[in-house]
Amino acid sequence: MDIQISGRAMDLGEALQQHVREAVEAGVTKYIGRPAEATVTFGKTNAKLADMRGREFTCEIVLHLASGVFLNTEGHAADAHSAFDEAMEKLDKRVRRYKRRLTDHHNSQKDPLPAEAGSSYVLQAPQLDEEETDDPPLVIAEAPATLRRMTVSDAVVQLDIGKDPVVMFRNAVSGDLSVVYRREDGNIGWIEGQNRA
């Protein structure tokens, strides 16, 4: 299993890196027999937030499975080891849930999901105290994104195991762009575009 470990503005000791490698490999291979890649990134929160919450360290784990599914978790704690342990506990639950869903749907022999390139944008939130203007919102960040071709049930699984509140995908049945999202009442909503040729 390929595991990349890095720290943002901090040095990581060999003991921590060894602990991360062993825990991620054991936690993932226990449920998933196919190859996977993981990226584990440590960082520190800004000083004001750390003082308020008593959580100075963050750990983010991104697991990319051979099926094309991404699982993301994050942990916060007073030390790097505890932040990783919190993130790993969440990852273990998500991998277990993903494996259970695959077993339930008899889908364990899936090929990687077809995908197409796209872009992801972060827009500046409107300020409540400013006058309304016709200016479009500012683009704060732009990153490449992948738009996967999958069934609605696969998109719901991705929504359930990921941390994003919405999943946009190309419907494998109709070929249209679709979105699944978690509603305020806890149910899942599905929006599908109409392909007008």
Tokens of 140: 């704060």
Average pLDDT over residues 89-113: 71
Structure tokens at 70: 């991404």
Higher-pLDDT residue of 139, 94: 94
- Residue that wins the pLDDT comparison between 84 and 146: 84
Give yes or no for a contact between 172 and 151, defined as CB atoms under 8 angstroms apart: yes
Q: Where are the domains positioned within the chain? A: 2-104, 115-192
pLDDT at 82: 92
Residue 48, pLDDT score: 55
Q: What is the pLDDT of residue 129?
A: 57
Q: What is the pLDDT of residue 108?
A: 44
Please answer whether residues 148 and 170 qualify as being in contact, where contact means their C-beta atoms are separated by less than 8 angstroms: yes
Residue 107 pLDDT? 47
CATH code for the structural domain at 2-104: 3.30.160.100
Average pLDDT over residues 42-60: 71
Q: Look at the block and give the residue holding tokens 């109709």.
A: 174
Q: Which residues contact 67 (CB under 8 A, 6 or more apart)?
A: 34, 110, 111, 112, 113
The pair of three-digit structure tokens given for residue 68, joined into one six-digit string: 């094309």
Number of Cβ within 10 Å of residue 20's Cβ equals 23
Please list, in sequence order, all residues whose beta carbon lies within 8 angstroms of the beta carbon of residue 162, skipping any fewer than 6 positions away. Answer: 70, 71, 72
User: What is the number of other CB atoms lying within 10 angstroms of the CB of residue 23?
Assistant: 20
Cβ atoms < 10 Å from Cβ of 195: 10
Residue with tokens 């007073």: 78
Distance between CA atoms of 38 and 65, rounded to whole angstroms? 9
Phi (first) and psi of residue 183, to 5 degrees: -80, 160
| 115-192: CATH topology | SHC Adaptor Protein (3.30.505)
